[in-house]
Chains A and B, each alone.
Chain A
Amino acid sequence: MIKTIYSKGKLAAKTGNEVMAEAMRQIEPDVVAAYPITPATEIVQIFSQFVADGKVKTEFVAVESEHSAMSATLAATAAGARAMTGTSSQGLCYMWEMLNIAAGLRLPVVLAEVNRAISAPINIHGDQSDTMGARDTGWIQIYSENSQEAYDNMIQAVRIAEAAKLPTLITTDGFIISHCMEVVELYPDEDVKKFVGQYKPDRYLLDVDRPVTLGSIELQDFYFEHRWQLAQAMRDSKKIISEVAEDFEKTFGRKYDFYEKYKLDDAEIAIVVIGSTAGTAKVAVDALREKGVKAGLLKIRVYRPFPAELIAKDLAKIKAFAVLDRADSCSGTFAPLYTDVVAALYAAGVSAPKAINYVYGLGGREISVAHLTQVYDTLSKIASGDAQASTNLEYINVRL
Chain B
Amino acid sequence: MANLKELSKNPERLSGGHRLCAGCGAGVVMRQTLMAAGADPVAVVCATGCVEVSTTIYPFSAWKVPFFHSAFENSAATASGVETAYKSLKKQGKINKDIKFIAFGGDGGTYDIGLQSLSGAMERGHNMLYVCYNNEAYMNTGIQRSGATPKGADTTTAPAGKKEQGKAQNEKDLTAIMVAHNIPYVAQSYLGNWNDYVTKVQKALAVDGPAFINILTPCRLGWAYKPEDTMALSRLGMETCFWPAFEVVNGVYKITVFPKEKKPITEFLKPQGRFKHLLKPENAGVIKEIQDYIDLKWEILKRRDELGKQGIPA
Q: Decide if A71 touches B77 in the complex (CB within 8 Å).
A: yes
> Are the C-beta atoms of A31 and B84 separated by less than 8 Å?
yes
Question: Given that A64-B117, A75-B79 are known contacts, is A80 also in contact with B91, CB under 8 Å in the complex?
Answer: no
Partner of B70, one of A58, A65, A71: A71
Tell me, rounded to whole Å, the shortest Cβ–Cβ distance linking B13 to chain A.
9
B 58-101 contacts with A by CB, 8 A: 58-59, 61, 63-71, 73-74, 77-82, 84-89, 91-92, 95, 97, 99
For window 189-213 of chain B, which residues contact chain A by CB distance below 8 Å? none
A214 vs B81: C-alpha distance when bound (angstroms): 14
Stretch of A14-22, A117-125, A215-223 contacting B (4+ beta carbons < 8 Å): A215-223
CB contact list, B28-82 vs A, under 8 A: 41-43, 45, 52-53, 56-59, 61, 63-71, 73-74, 77-82
A80 → chain B closest CB, angstroms: 6
Minimum Cβ distance to chain B for residue A207 (Å): 7
Neighbouring B residues of A97 by C-beta, 8 Å: 71
A5 within 8 A of B: no
In the docked arrangement, what's the CA distance between A218 and B59, Å?
A: 8
The one of B57, B70, B89, B99 in contact with A75, judged by C-beta atoms closer than 8 angstroms, is: B70
B303, CB-defined interface residue at 8 Å: no
Q: Is B16 interfacial (CB 8 A cutoff)?
A: no
Q: Take A72-B80, A214-B67, A214-B68 as given contacts and tell me if A58 and B88 are in contact as well, using a CB distance cutoff of 8 Å.
A: yes
Note all chain A residues with C-beta closer than 8 A to B228: none
Whether the Cβ atoms of B89 and A81 lie closer than 8 Å is yes
Interface size on A, residues (CB 8 A): 43
A216 close to B120 (CB less than 8 A): no
Check: B119 CB closer than 8 A to any chain A CB: yes
Residues B89 and A215 in contact, CB atoms below 8 Å apart: no
- State the Cβ distance, A95 to closest chain B Cβ, in Å: 11
How many residues on the B side are at the interface (Cβ–Cβ under 8 A)? Answer: 46
Q: B120 contacts which chain A residues (CB < 8 A)?
A: 63-65, 68
Chain B contacts for A74, CB-based, 8 A: 70, 81
- Could you give, for residues 56-68 of chain A, a 1 whenever the CB lies within 8 Å of some chain B CB and a 0 otherwise? 0111011111011
Q: How far is the CB of B268 from chain A (nearest CB, A)?
A: 33
Contact of B56 among A68, A80, A216 (CB under 8 A): A216
* B291 interfacial by beta-carbon distance below 8 Å: no
| Complex interface: chain A residues within 8 A of B73 (CB) | 67
From A78, A80, A211, contact of B64 by CB (8 A):
A211
Chain A contacts of B69 at CB under 8 A? 214-216
Please, how many angstroms separate the alpha-carbon atoms of A78 and B120 in the complex?
A: 20
Q: Is the CB of A257 closer than 8 A to any CB of chain B?
A: no
**Is A215 in contact with B56, judged by CB distance below 8 angstroms?**
yes
Q: Is the CB of A62 within 8 A of B124?
A: yes
> For the complex, is A142 an interface residue (Cβ under 8 Å from B)?
no
Q: Judging by beta carbons under 8 Å apart, are B43 and A206 in contact? A: yes
Q: Does B116 contact A (CB under 8 A)?
A: yes
A378 proximal to B (CB < 8 A): no
- In the complex the two chains form, is B88's CB within 8 Å of A59's CB? yes
A215 to B, closest residue via Cβ: B69
Partner of B85 from A31, A101, A208, A212 at Cβ < 8 Å: A31
Cβ contacts under 8 Å, A81 to chain B = 84-85, 88-89
Q: Is A30 within 8 A of B67, CB to CB?
A: no
Is there contact, CB below 8 Å, between A217 and B99?
no
Instruction: Contact check, A73 vs B81: say whether CB atoms are below 8 A apart.
Output: yes
User: In the complex the two chains form, is B66's CB within 8 Å of A75's CB?
Assistant: no
Max count, chain B CB within 10 A of own CB: residue among A31, A62, A79: A79
Judged by a CB distance under 8 angstroms, whether A331 is at the interface is no
Distance of A292 Cα from B165 Cα, bound (Å): 82
CB neighbours (8 Å) of A80 from chain B are 85, 89, 95
CB pair B84 A59 closer than 8 Å: yes
Task: Please state if B119 and A64 are interface contacts (CB–CB under 8 Å).
Answer: yes
Question: Which of B43, B58, B64, B87 is in CB contact (< 8 Å) with A218?
Answer: B58
Point out which of B59, B89, B99 has the most chain A C-beta atoms below 10 A from its C-beta.
B89
B55 to chain A, nearest CB (A): 8
Is residue B123 contacting chain A, with contact meaning CB distance below 8 A?
yes
Alpha-carbon distance A63/B119, docked complex (angstroms) = 10
Cross-chain contact B61 with A98 (CB below 8 angstroms): no
Contact residue among B53, B68, B92, B116 (Cβ-Cβ distance under 8 Å from A64): B116
Q: Determine whether A7 belongs to the interface, using a CB cutoff of 8 Å to chain B.
A: no
Q: In chain A, residues 36-89, which have Cβ atoms closer than 8 Å to a Cβ of chain B?
A: 57-59, 61-65, 67-68, 71-81, 83
What residues make up the interface of A, taking CB atoms closer than 8 Å to B? 30-31, 33, 57-59, 61-65, 67-68, 71-81, 83, 97-98, 101, 105, 205-208, 211-219, 222
Q: Taking A72-B80, A98-B71, A208-B65 as given, write out 15 further A-B residue pairs in contact, using a Cβ cutoff of 8 Å, ordered by the A residue number.
A: A30-B92, A31-B85, A67-B74, A68-B80, A76-B84, A76-B88, A78-B70, A81-B84, A83-B85, A205-B66, A206-B82, A212-B66, A215-B69, A217-B57, A217-B58
The 4 closest A-B pairs by CB, nearest first: A75-B81, A64-B120, A72-B81, A68-B77
